[in-house]
Structure 1
């Protein structure tokens, strides 16, 4: 079979999942949340760029609350064996 006979392959883009979440911290010195039942899970995103857009939007909405922080977690790093 020649290379001309081979069917073209379309590789699926690698999913690099990212979680955006946040909540109110106990203090500015750490990352201990005041109330875990009130964590705001913004969502899971297929790439860092879309996660960063969601993170920025939530961070701007809570700019008046100094203790409220949002984070991006690189889920794809946790899922790799």
Structure 2
């Protein structure tokens, strides 16, 4: 049976989620790069956001802990920069 999804909805938009303890609350410099927590790679923004939110909420007691979502698909294919993700 054919898939009812449109080809556009099947397009993978790679997102990376990672975080760690920052040196300062004002910047994005990590205190120790060897301790970066790589949460995972996700095929869409919604999945990445769910993972980011779970990790961010689990570290809420440490003000220096920050997690980020990187839109890796934009780095791999700059033409996707304007696409909704």
- Greater share of residues in helix: 2
1:49 aligns with one of 43, 46, 51: 46
Please report the TM-score for the alignment, with normalisation by the length of structure 2: 0.81
Q: Any runs of at least 4 consecutive aligned residues in structure 1 with deviations exceeding 4 A, and if so which?
A: none
Q: CA shift at 1:58, angstroms?
A: 0.1
> Where in structure 2 are there 5+ consecutive unaligned residues?
79-85
The alignment covers a number of residue pairs equal to 74
- Measured on the aligned residues, the alpha-carbon RMSD in Å equals 1.8
> Where in structure 1 are there 5+ consecutive unaligned residues?
1-7
Q: Within 2, Cα distance between the matches of 1:17 and 1:25?
A: 25
Q: Within 1, Cα distance between the matches of 2:77 and 2:70?
A: 14
Which deviations, in whole Å up to 9, do the C-alpha atoms of 1:26-62 show, x marking residues without a partner? Answer: 0001000000000000000000000000000000000
Q: CA shift at 1:67, angstroms?
A: 0.2
Q: Within 1, Cα distance between the matches of 2:7 and 2:42?
A: 20
Please report the TM-score for the alignment, with normalisation by the length of structure 1: 0.85
Larger radius of gyration: 1
The answer for the alignment partner of 1:11 in structure 2 is: 7
2:19 aligns with one of 1, 22, 38: 22
The answer for the alignment partner of 1:73 in structure 2 is: 70
